A and B are shown apart, each in its own frame.
Chain A
Amino acid sequence: MADISIRDVRKVYGKDEVIHGVNLAIHNGEFIVILGPSGCGKSTLLRMIAGLEDISGGEIAIAGTVVNDLEPRERGCAMVFQNYALYPHMTVGGNIGYALKVAGVKRAERDAKVRAVARSVGLEEFIDRKPGQLSGGQRQRVAMARAIIREPKVFLFDEPLSNLDAKLRVQMRHEIRRIHNRIGATSVFVTHDQHEGMTLADRMVIMNKGTIDQVGTPEEVYNRPATTYVAGFIGSPAMNFLSGEVRAGESAVALADGSRIALTPAAARAFDGRLVQIGLRPEALALCAPGEGALRARFDFYEEMGSDGLHHLMVEDVPLSVLSAHKQRMPEGQEVGVTVPPEVVHLFDVESGQRLEAGPGAVATIKRMEHAE
């Protein structure tokens, strides 16, 4: 069991810096999800923890020991790879037991342990098969078992579920969480899938082009995104953005088309005169009759989502979507109103993209991260 402390860590490939001084404190036994789009540096960060990439700058400590110069095997981490990376010439049992074999564990003891771990992930009957004879889900389990058997201090996952079909992915997601709850080792899980991240994480780390934009519980990240980037990335369907200017006198944001979006008085006072981006989640809005509500829009098209309907509108030339169980199909171009309750409005600074929040518990400064220690 171990905590991980990442201090001002950088990664440089040739002349390109791809991780720009990242700070992160991961607590013992925590399930951390690193979330971000492809190419933002998630894998690189994970592989620096694992010891598969050199650390160009800064420091990583596991359980209080700086591991910068330690070999992967000396760090006590186990890793599950995206393509599983099973040894194709070894049986399932051979794959699972390989780490113990390398460690010199006696045959009988090793076999017993392999059997026990294989049983725990439902692979007992496949123990003599080669990975090539398994389905994607079974291979995934072998990869998990290979990590579990080592009883590592830290579990590292690099998009381990992205090669599975949707149904299996959800199932394995739950299984991974169950295993985590049972074993309790610190886990760092990399993914680009926000649903996966939301359901698995104790805390999420949202990465953006080699930096960390926000660290927080899934609720925090969803309810109070620290930047427009996080706000746009988390939540599905994605958040709507409109720009305008805060008017304290009217306790609202004035949009270019003359409409007003009401703010809480505290927020309006705190940011009077600021140019802002307004973030509105589709599920926080509702349609109403034209002329009513805060926004005036035209109907664009309708998207069926099952339990809800996603109504795509245009506010002038800015798209805006409204998610509602009250499904309304309308002809294209028809005028509609949109109601916007003041408490659902997210404000962001136009220049910096940082969240603007007034009053106690303001997260305007949540941005970056509490430094390790």
Chain B
Amino acid sequence: MRRAYFKNNWIAAALVLPQLLIIFVFFYWPTSQAVFWSLTFEQPWGGGNDWAGLHHFRELLSDSLYWQSVRVSLVYAAGTTVLGMGLALILALFVDRQLRGYRQYRVGMIWPYAVAAPAIGLAFRYIFNPTAGVMAYVNQVWDGIWDPILTGWHAMAMIVIAGAWKNIAYNFIFFLAGLQSIPRSLIEASAMDGSGVMRRMRDIQLPLLTPTFFFILVINITDSFTDSFGIVDTMTNGGPARATNLMVYKIYVDGFEGQNYSSAAAQSVILMVLVILLTFVQFRYIERRVHYS
């Protein structure tokens, strides 16, 4: 293949500059600020900042409220991932059987992923509203069965469902693509070998889907840590009684409502390290993709 080389390095630089600028302004600058803040005592209204070292981190790690937030974040991560991936996988297995070869409709399925989290939160807030929404009818029949405003695990279930719904379409597309890339002849060979539909799924399709599975798993967990803010903010505000106070939401509350910039900065650094670790795992995994042939 022919490659184009820029004779003039100036042109290359000019083309790359906007990108670099954006990355710098929206990533490196705030990130370094957060790291700096997390290591100092930051005044709410500006002014001097004194060096704090790891003080904020030590304080966080001994704060039971922080650990409570970590706990609900893990519950949320597990819930959305299991629900979102499970349903997507089941759907993909069914669609793969029926629609082998059809590819166009997949584009339509990706849209929910493109819907912003707050919009999803608003939609589900209506659906799950105990007095005005769909669930209100259930409450009418069976008084008080559904009350996410007072009952912690109801609220958690609510945001888990909303979060899972957001990811199902995305997961589904990847699962379906993974299933469709399994050679048809393998399925046929196993049919000749005597296995039925379920057996084929278990022995052939699911094992061959593991690379896709791990990829989606990491994406989903990362997403549950970072992209859950909009859902919590619109649906529960972290309540009731911090039952849905996810790490990413707690950063916002502590920082912008509690004016505790340093602690919030330390929390975002921890979250960032978590996400970086997950991304690292993913790259490592993609690099060393299970090779079959």
Contact = CB atoms under 8 A, between A and B. Distances in A.
Interface in A139-157: 146, 150
A73 B293 contact: no
Interface string B180-211: 00010110111111111001000110011000
Contacts of A99: 193-194
Interface string A68-110: 0001110001110101011111000000001100110000000
A242 B28 CA distance: 82
The B interface, classified by DSSP as helix, strand, loop or mixed, is helix
Nearest to B199: A102
Contacts of A103: 194
Given A81-B185, A102-B199, A89 B292 contact: yes
A132 B292 CA distance: 6
B284 interface: no
B199 A72 contact: no
A103 B192 CA distance: 12
Interface in A113-136: 130-132
Contact of A87 (B191, B196, B204, B291): B204
A128 B183 CA distance: 23
B194 A132 contact: no
B208 A89 contact: yes
B30 to A, nearest CB: 44
B189 A87 contact: yes
Interface string A173-214: 000000000000000000000000000000000000000000
A261 interface: no
Contact of A78 (B190, B192, B292): B192
Nearest to A158: B185
A85 B189 contact: yes
A85 B195 contact: no
Contact of B185 (A51, A83, A98, A102): A83
Nearest to A98: B193
Given A81-B185, A83-B185, A52 B291 contact: no
B189 A88 contact: no
A89 B203 CA distance: 10
Give chain B's interface residue range (CB within 8 Å of chain A).
20 to 34
Given A89-B207, A131-B293, A132-B291, A79 B189 contact: yes
Contacts of A24: none
A220 B81 CA distance: 66
A35 interface: no
Nearest to A134: B293
A50 interface: yes
A86 B195 CA distance: 15
Interface in A15-57: 50-52
A132 B183 contact: no
A98 B190 contact: yes
A146 B185 contact: no
Given A81-B185, A87-B204, A102 B292 contact: no
B256 to A, nearest CB: 50
A89 B182 CA distance: 12
A73 B192 CA distance: 5
A105 B188 CA distance: 21
A262 B29 CA distance: 97
Given A102-B199, A131-B293, A87 B192 contact: no
Nearest to B193: A99
Given A87-B204, A132-B291, A81 B195 contact: no
B208 A72 contact: no
A51 B192 CA distance: 9
A89 B186 CA distance: 11
Nearest to A88: B292
Contact of B191 (A72, A83, A88, A150): A72
A102 B207 contact: no
Given A81-B189, A130-B292, A132-B292, A73 B183 contact: no
B21 to A, nearest CB: 46
Contacts of A88: 186, 208, 292-293
A102 B183 contact: no
Nearest to B182: A88
A85 B188 contact: yes
B193 A150 contact: yes
Interface of A: 50-52, 71-73, 77-79, 81, 83, 85-89, 98-99, 102-103, 130-132, 146, 150
11 contacts: A50-B192, A52-B191, A72-B191, A73-B191, A79-B192, A85-B186, A85-B188, A88-B292, A98-B190, A102-B193, A102-B194
Interface of B: 183, 185-186, 188-196, 199, 203-204, 207-208, 291-293
Given A73-B195, A89-B208, 8 more contacts: A51-B191, A52-B188, A72-B188, A72-B191, A79-B188, A79-B189, A88-B208, A99-B194
Going nearest first, the 5 A-B pairs with the smallest beta carbon separation are: A88-B292, A85-B185, A99-B193, A73-B194, A85-B189
